[in-house]
Every structure is written in structure tokens, then in C-alpha cells.
Amino acid sequence: MNQDTVTIITLFSICTILFFSCIIKIVVGYYRKRPEIQKYDAGHVGFVVDTFHTLVSRLKEKERELEMLKKNAEEKASTIEIYNENIFQSVPSGVISFDCESRITRINSTAAKILGLKESNIAGRRHNEILNSPITDIIESKKTVERAEISYTTQTSKRIWLGLTISPLKDSSNNIIGQILVFTDLTELKAFQSQMELRERLSSLGEMSAGISHELRNPMAVISGYTKILSKKADNSLMPAIDSITREVAVMDRIIADFLSFARPTELIPYDVDLDELATSCIKAIKDRDEYGNISIRADKLPVIKGDEIQMRQLFSNLFQNAVEAMPEGGSLNIGVSTGDSLVISISDTGHGIPDNIRDKIFLPFYTTKERGTGLGLSIAHKIVVSHGGIIDVGVGIRDKGTTFTLKFPGEIIVD
């Protein structure tokens, strides 16, 4: 029994009592004015009065029952409302409802968290005051959308992937009273898919690199040998040319070594690695170079992990080297860390940054924007991270400048 029904019954009972009260008053007044009737029919008057009192008592009892029913109905309605609110706030998907004018009527905590919303007075505001494109475009179109995937930039300038559904919101009479948006955060899933695709491509390129490296190493060894012979027999006028050949051979040898390092299957030799000490030594090696003296470095304390120290050293060296090379006129290098279910290490700089249109390519072998780069440094870094069960991602750096490389490892890698 709902609250409206209880209220109607209560009002009906009150009206009934008032009606019978009026009838009794009329009857009693009539008998009092007619003494002859009083003498003749006094027993009937008493019967009517007694009946009235009995009826009033029963009606009052029913009224108390109705009051209890009303109270129980209100408590039940309140319980259901609280229960529905708990469900609304607890679902792992973001849910936002809009009225017919595209004003936000309800939003759950998951939606606010995913979209990076911090305002407390969101309800009642227009959708384009709170949300960004392309969500606002979809809402304005009033179209039903099922299982769409979109790229979305939050109010905190974070780029995420959303899987969403938007449909008409209807009342109990099947009338459309607005729209409802339901979405989930696909960012980590998209990153995982991207990492898997990249891993497959790197595996194929690694096999090709191994063949190329072996084919190049033999002729380079011959060239190097003849160069040493010429340096002993040639006169001084030819020495600059011989030195130039020697330097280029050394460069080619380093490139071949990178090829082999990239192509070689990763075999971890895990033991306790103090990342803090390792990163400090890599930073010291950078600071000792004169050309990097105008770069400030700040680092959080890194934990001890179970991993391959040689590979981890190469990983940090490559990323630190990329960061300082991106800041030829000086800047800041920050190393941050957070622990919990996973180990997250961020390496941020204030350099020239990486354009959006090439971020998806930087981990590919042989892709480089440097004049004398091999394009294998970040590919090797990616391989090392993946071999330790982690993922590596790239984003914007400090104060929306430069670049941030984020390394995410499983929490089990941390040594207690």
C-alpha cells in the first residue's frame, strides 16, 4: 500500500466520523425538542448513541491502524529510495541522466571520478558547462548510441578512452523525459591492446634485425681490420681520412650492437635491485657531463624490486638520456613513484615534448627524430619493461610541458 492510498483512506475515515457525528447531533436535537417522542422512544435514542460510540471507537482503532500502515509505507519508501541510491552510486559504470533541455539531473560518483569532475553542484547545470566534446555533441544530437568508443579529454586535461551508451530516459507511462548516459573507462584496456600489438610487431622486427646485424658485422670487421693496417703504413696526409673511417666504423659497430640487443631474446636474471641506488648512479653519470649542468633533477625514493639489474640500468639510462637531450637549454627532470597494487614510476621533463601525431610510433624500431639516432633506444626500453611484466606509456610532462614516460609494474615485483 503506497503513501497516497493510506492518505486517502485516512481522510475518508475522518469524513465518515464527522458525518455520523452530525447525524447523531441532528437525531438527539430532534428528540430533545419532542418530549412526547422522548418518552415513547428513549430506548431507541440510547441504542443510536451507543452504536455511534461503538462506531467511533472502531473508526479510531482503524485510524490508528492506518497511521501505522502509513508510517510503515513511508519507512519502506525511504528504504527503497536509499537502496536505489546505493545501487546508483555503487555501479562500476558512470551514469548521468539529463532532462529534455539537456540539463544534468543525476550523476553518480563513478562518472565524476572517470571524467575528473570536482564540482559539487553539478545537478541542474547544462551539459556543455560540465562536459566536453564529443560527449556534448552526442547529447545535443538526441540520438540513441549503443556501444560506441570515443577519445575524451577530461577537465584535468587527461586523455581517456570511453565505451558509452546513450538512450532516451522514460517515465512509468513510457513518456520520454530526457536522456541517460552510461559509460566505462577503456583507457587501460586500450593501452593493453596497444602494447600487445606493439609486442607482436617488435617480435617480427627483432628477428629481422638479428639477420641484418649478423650480415653487417662481418664486412664491418673487415673494414676495421684494413683501417688499422692503413693507419700503420699510410703517411700523415692520409691520417685524417683514416681517422674518419675509424669513427664511422665505431658508430656502425654501436648501431649493430643495438640491433643485436634489440633482437636478442630477453633472459631475465632476477635478484634484488635497489632502484634508488641504480637511478642515483645513472643521474650522477648525466650530471658529470658538462653539457647537462644546467638541468635540475628531483627524484623520489625508489623501492627495491625483484628484477634484472643490467636491463633496469639500461632502461633508466635510455629514458634519462632521452629526457636530458630534449632539454638542450636546460630544464627540470623529475622522477616520481607511487606504490600499491602496482609500482608506478614516472620520468618527466620540461623539454620540447613529443607531438601527438608521433606518440604512437616512438616505440617502433628504427623510428627516430634525432639526426644520428638509431631509433632503438625506446624500443629496447619497451622490451625491458614488458619482460618484467609491466607496461610503458608516454604523455605530457611537467606543467603541460615536455614529456612523461610512465612505467607500470605489477605490485608483486616490489621486495618487502
Runs of H (alpha helix) within 264-337: 275-287, 309-325
Mean pLDDT, the chain, as a whole number? 77
DSSP 330: -
Please check the confidence at residue 28 and state whether its pLDDT lies above 60: no
Residue 407 pLDDT: 92
What's the pLDDT score for residue 132? Answer: 86
End-to-end alpha-carbon separation of the chain, Å? 59
The residue with cell 560518483 is 109
Q: What angle do CA 18, 22, 25 make, to 5 degrees?
A: 135
Query: Are the C-beta atoms of 278 and 314 separated by less than 8 Å?
Result: no
Give the model's pLDDT for residue 239: 81
What are 95's strand-pairing partners?
A: 182
State residue 344's pLDDT score.
92
Give the pLDDT score at 211: 64
Q: Which of 235, 188, 199, 222 is nearest to 344 (CA)?
A: 188
Q: Across residues 55-59, what is the average pLDDT?
A: 69
Q: CA 368, 371, 373 angle in degrees (round to 5)?
A: 50
Say what percent of the chain tops pLDDT 70: 71
Residue 389 has pLDDT above 80, yes or no: yes
- Distance separating alpha carbons of residues 398 and 326, to the nearest angstrom: 13
**Nearest in space to 310 (alpha carbons), one of 318, 322, 302:** 318
User: What is the maximal distance between C-alpha atoms in the chain?
Assistant: 160
Q: Are 125 and 101 in contact (CB under 8 A)?
A: no
pLDDT band at 35 (very low <50, low <70, confident <90, very high): low
Contacts of 306 (CB under 8 A, 6+ apart): 270, 271, 272, 273, 413, 414, 415
pLDDT per residue as tens digits for the range 356-369: 777 777 777 666 66
Rounded to an integer, the average pLDDT of 141-158 is: 83
Phi-psi map region of 174: left, alpha, beta (phi>0 left; psi -120 to 50 alpha): left
Can the peptide bond before residue 134 be classed as cis, meaning omega within 30 degrees of 0?
yes
Q: Which of 62-66, 128-132, 332-336 has the lowest mean pLDDT?
A: 62-66
> Distance between CA 299 and CA 94 in Å, rounded?
36
Confidence of residue 14 (pLDDT cuts 50, 70, 90): low
What's the pLDDT band for 346 if we cut at 50, 70, 90?
very high
Rounded Cα distance between 121 and 204, Å, is 53
Q: Report the run of H or E that residue 152 belongs to, with start and end.
A: strand 145-153
For residue 265, the number of C-alpha atoms closer than 13 Å in the C-beta half-sphere is 1
What does the pLDDT read at residue 345? 92
Residue bearing cell 560527449: 135
Strand-pair category, 295-299 with 304-307: unpaired
| β-strand partners of 391 | 408
Percent of the chain with pLDDT over 90: 6
Residue 392 near residue 406 (C-beta atoms within 8 A): yes
Residues in contact with 258: Cβ distance below 8 Å, sequence separation at least 6, in sequence order: 374, 376, 377, 380
pLDDT at 47 over 70: no
Give, for 88, the enclosing helix (H) or strand (E). Answer: helix 35-90
The stretch 75-99 carries a mean pLDDT of 77
d(Cα 145, Cα 128) in Å, to the nearest integer? 18
Nearest to 318 by CA among 278, 376, 261, 275: 376
Q: Are 366 and 344 in contact (CB under 8 A)?
A: no
pLDDT in the model for residue 236: 78
Say how far apart CA 102 and CA 107 lie, in whole Å. 13
* Whether residue 162 has pLDDT greater than 60: yes
CB 405 within 8 A of CB 319: yes
User: What is the distance of C-alpha 294 from the center of its chain?
Assistant: 36
Which residue has cell 610503458? 392
Which of 62-71, 110-119, 316-325 reaches the highest mean pLDDT? 316-325
Mean pLDDT of 90-103: 87
- For residue 393, give the 3-state DSSP assignment: strand
For residue 339, what is the DSSP state? -
